[in-house]
Amino acid sequence: MIDLQTHSTASDGTLSPEALVDLAASVGITTIALTDHDTVSGLRPAMARGRKRGVEVIPGVEFEAEWAGGGHMHILGYFIDSQDPELLERLAWLQERRRERAAKILQQLEEAGAPIQWERAEFFAGGESIGRPHIAQALIEAGHANDLPDAFERYLKPGRPGYVEKAQYSSAECIRLIRASGGVAVLAHPATMKKITREEFACVLDRLVTEGIRGVEAFWSKHTPEEMEFYAGAARERDLIVTAGSDFHGANKPTIQLGARLDGNREGEILRSLRTEADRAARAVGARG
């Protein structure tokens, strides 16, 4: 079994990178990609644990790209060089924006009569990538919300008093950064781009292809069978790799199990294609010098 989309406490998952690898080993998963949002800080501990436990950990990252439509567009990077100076600089910028955004959210929450302390939000973030799930936990602790869905419903989703937009790079820039660090860029869970027709999706995907996207995560734990088939078909028509990930976040998304995706056991083919593509990207970076 493989799982190419997982999140740890380095972003908004609830298992540490080490615990995530331990869980993978215990349920028989041989390869995971750790794809935390806007950070690579979990990769080193996850890869070290992976070597001990016999689990291959593909170094990954997940960006949210600028997207004018409903929902959101996420872009995954696989086999990235987590020491790449430009990548690290761009991620540090996103982390700084996240902290500014969190401060603004807290200010708006206070004005809305739901004050929480910065220290508590930071505590739940674990000193790493701070986001709405951490603020939600602080809201619950302070008695302003009953549980995570309730905190988002009352305060944190678009249109609610605690909502603040997140800083993003364009899709072209996300893809460029991933490729420049020797990685392979893949469009994550396309169904989260809401309210677009299949024709509009085809146009978006064509644009992403010109920007350098190399795969589509058609097999995602929350896609319907029809969506999987459609996105896999759209990917194959464009000679893109069809990938598979659950989007595991531990207790922050309790319905998603590690390894949950329905790719019909195509994992050998998926990994081979991604590796070939990553080798190509690394050679291109090397050639540029």
Contacting positions for ligand AMP (CB under 6 A)? 12, 37, 131-133, 148-149, 152, 157, 166, 249, 253
Q: Do 73 and 171 contact (CB within 8 A), yes or no?
A: yes
CB of 240 to Zn ion, least distance (A): 23
Three-class SS state of 80: coil
CB of 217 to ligand AMP, least distance (A): 15
d(C-alpha 95, C-alpha 36), whole Å: 12
d(C-alpha 59, C-alpha 183), whole Å: 9
Q: Smaller CB distance to Fe ion: residue 114 or 169?
A: 169
d(C-alpha 10, C-alpha 203), whole Å: 34
Q: Do 271 and 265 contact (CB within 8 A), yes or no?
A: no
> Site mask, Fe ion, residues 73-112, x = CB under 5 A?
-x--------------------------------------
CB of 7 to Fe ion, least distance (A): 8
| 157 binds, options Fe ion, Zn ion, ligand AMP, none, Cβ within 5 to 8 A by partner type | ligand AMP
User: Using the rule CB under 5 A, is 121 a contact of Fe ion?
Assistant: no
Degrees to nearest 5, angle at CA 131 with 127 and 133: 105
Q: Which residues in the 157-196 window bind Fe ion by CB under 5 A? A: 188
d(C-alpha 170, C-alpha 180), whole Å: 15
| 74 binds, options ligand AMP, Fe ion, Zn ion, none, Cβ within 5 to 8 A by partner type | Fe ion
